[in-house]
């Protein structure tokens, strides 16, 4: 289902599809390869993005950086086809992103597959998203014995929705696969930590083991340099 579309930014200029592509770097904040900073002429389903979804492919808008909409009041939404996600940046400018399916047939490299392995700002966004989802996951699941296969669909959906409300960029990932992958790793890391604590004989003993290992690593590093 498409997300309910907000009203259009108040200041805009109509440009051709070719001009939009040329102007994209001027406005785009997140520099991933599939970002094109153009906004559909209609946010109510009359027109869509240019990837075969528009009833007038030359009728697009790109918003200026000084529009009067408060970015806090804008919300990300999907195109009717579900192939594009429109996400407002901190200036209230909608950026169109392609929706990415979950990678198949290989291990997931989260940072690269989320296209946040580029500039420093992108990497900071990745770390912020990952930390936020980890906190949500640990807060929502009190039972430390819960594993990913027996985690309820309701909890997964609630965490995904909460994370997406804070970071609209997550709308790019079809079926919430990026959010769920971070949740899965958070649960796995928590189980591994609990196992190490139990094996060490308690929290204090585990902390001492960690300190000892860290000192050994620092010593080896200093000797190698």
Largest pairwise CA distance in the chain: 68
pLDDT tens per residue across span 113-157? 999 998 999 999 999 999 999 999 988 887 777 888 888 899 999
So what's the pLDDT on residue 125?
93
Cβ count within 10 A of residue 198: 11
pTM of the model: 0.62
The helix (run of H) or strand (run of E) holding residue 40 is strand 39-40
Q: Which of 42-51, 81-90, 189-198 has the lowest mean pLDDT?
A: 42-51
CA distance 133 to 102: 18
Q: Which of 77-86, 131-140, 175-184, 203-212 has the lowest mean pLDDT?
A: 203-212
Instruction: Note whether 163 and 173 are within 8 A (CB).
Output: no
So what's the pLDDT on residue 188?
86
Question: Radius of gyration of the chain from Cα atoms?
Answer: 22
Instruction: Note whether 182 and 95 are within 8 A (CB).
Output: no
pLDDT tens per residue across span 54-108? 433 332 333 333 444 555 577 888 888 888 899 888 888 898 999 999 998 888 8
User: Above 90 in pLDDT, residue 179?
Assistant: yes
- What is the residue-averaged pLDDT of the chain? 72
For residue 95, what are the β-bridge partners?
Answer: 87
So what's the pLDDT on residue 222?
78
DSSP symbols for 72-111: GG---EE-TTSSEEEEE-TTS-EEEEE-BPPP-SS---HH
CA distance 8 to 47: 13
């Amino acid at each position: 289902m498409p997300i309910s579309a907000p009203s259009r930014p108040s200041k805009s200029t109509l440009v051709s599809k070719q001009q939009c592509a040329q102007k994209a770097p001027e406005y785009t904040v997140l520099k991933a390869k599939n970002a094109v900073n153009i906004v559909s002429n209609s946010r109510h389903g009359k027109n869509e993005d240019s990837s075969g979804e528009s009833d007038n492919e030359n009728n697009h808008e790109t918003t200026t950086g000084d529009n009067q909409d408060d970015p806090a009041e804008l919300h990300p939404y999907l195109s009717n086809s579900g192939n594009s996600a429109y996400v407002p940046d901190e200036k209230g400018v909608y950026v169109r992103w392609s929706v990415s399916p979950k990678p198949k047939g290989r291990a997931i490299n989260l940072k690269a597959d989320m296209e946040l392995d580029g500039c420093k700002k992108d990497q900071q966004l990745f770390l912020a998203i990952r930390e936020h989802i980890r906190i949500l996951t640990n807060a929502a699941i009190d039972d430390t014995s819960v594993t990913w296969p027996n985690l309820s669909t309701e909890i997964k959906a609630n965490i995904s929705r909460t994370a997406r409300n804070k970071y609209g960029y997550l709308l790019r990932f079809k079926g919430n696969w990026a959010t769920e992958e971070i949740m899965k790793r958070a649960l796995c890391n928590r189980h591994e930590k609990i196992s190490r604590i139990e094996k060490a004989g308690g929290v204090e003993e585990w902390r001492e083991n960690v300190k000892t290992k860290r000192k050994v690593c620092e010593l080896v590093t200093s000797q190698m340099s």
